[in-house]
Amino acid sequence: MRKHLKRYLPDHTAVHESRWLRPFRNSLLHPRLWHLNRHSAAGAVAAGMFCGLIPGPLQMIGAAICALVFRVNLPLAMFVTLYTNPFTIVPLYLVAYQIGRLATDDSAGFVKPPDFEMTRFVEWTQAMQTWMIGVGKPLGIGLVLLALILAGIGYVLTKAAWRFWLIRAWRRRPWR
């Protein structure tokens, strides 16, 4: 399985030769960040799944920090964050909001955001802030819980898939 994954992931020489990453060369060139085995791959998938729900462009930075802290495969952790994209982010946030509502025992349901009116912009801004604060607590708690759930599932599935691949490869050996 390592052979197939390595084909798509960059190697450490790209980091070594990059002038933008030169200040971080010592920490980014640690061998465990570039070694690909079932432990580093499962940890990288978990880190990428967890950091994938971070809003905006901070997903890959979060995945890189997690990879550095937990010493898992850096390119794979950053690649896995791409499961969130413009098509999947809204459904994931809605699921996170529902999980947060269940966790906080919020029975109010989804409250529709205030309608935009240019003539009453100040009132709309205040109403929007109130709506965002009301949605913020269940959404924030739900995002953390969903990220933990996805990271756990990703870790277990990666370990299981790697084990399945090894058993299958072992059984296909000709000398058996």
Q: Taking the domains of the chain in order of start, what are their residue ranges?
A: 2-171
pTM here is 0.75
Q: What is the pLDDT of residues 6-32, one digit of tens each?
A: 666 666 666 666 666 555 665 666 667
What does the pLDDT average to over 53-65?
A: 88
What does the pLDDT average to over 52-63?
A: 89
- The Cα–Cα gap between 48 and 66 comes to 8
- CA–chain centroid gap for 137, Å, is 20
Under DSSP, the state recorded for 114 is P
